């Protein structure tokens, strides 16, 4: 017999299974370990809040990583939004971006 409300159990399983690899995934994409920890917490908060929208539990891993990707993109968007156009950091922002699939998405936003 299934647990009457499987979502809390699934959220806990997601944390146990993915928190370490997801943290490593985020750390490779942001320059600061503290920010990586914050983004991990944000991702798991969204996972907890939206777990009931997961239609196929077999896709849990890809769904979790997609939430983390979005948290990283939001981080770079907010960083871009707070940098003045008069400061030299604007030209350095693209140099700080990681070399992977997120870079293309971020550069399209600029």
Question: What is the rounded CA–CA span in Å between residue 104 and residue 89?
Answer: 19
Q: Can you tell me whether residue 56 is helix, strand or coil?
A: coil
Residue-level pLDDT at 21: 95
**Could you read off the pLDDT of 63-96 as tens digits, one per residue?**
999 999 999 999 999 887 665 656 555 555 555 5
**Could you read off the pLDDT of 25-46 as tens digits, one per residue?**
999 999 899 999 999 999 999 9
* Of 32, 109, 18, 8, nearest in space to 68 by CA: 18
Question: What is the rounded CA–CA span in Å between residue 51 and residue 58?
Answer: 13
Output the pTM of the full model. Answer: 0.64
Residue-level pLDDT at 74: 94
């Amino acid at each position: 017999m299934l647990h009457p409300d499987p979502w809390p159990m699934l959220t806990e399983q997601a944390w146990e299974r993915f928190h370490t690899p997801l943290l490593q995934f985020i750390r490779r994409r942001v320059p600061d370990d503290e920010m990586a920890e914050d983004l991990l917490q944000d991702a798991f908060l969204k996972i907890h809040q939206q777990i009931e929208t997961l239609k196929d539990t077999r896709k849990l891993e890809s769904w979790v990583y997609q939430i983390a990707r979005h948290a990283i993109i939001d981080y770079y968007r907010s960083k871009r939004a707070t940098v003045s156009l008069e400061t030299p950091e604007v030209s350095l922002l693209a140099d700080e971006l990681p070399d992977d699939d997120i870079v293309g998405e971020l550069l399209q936003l600029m």
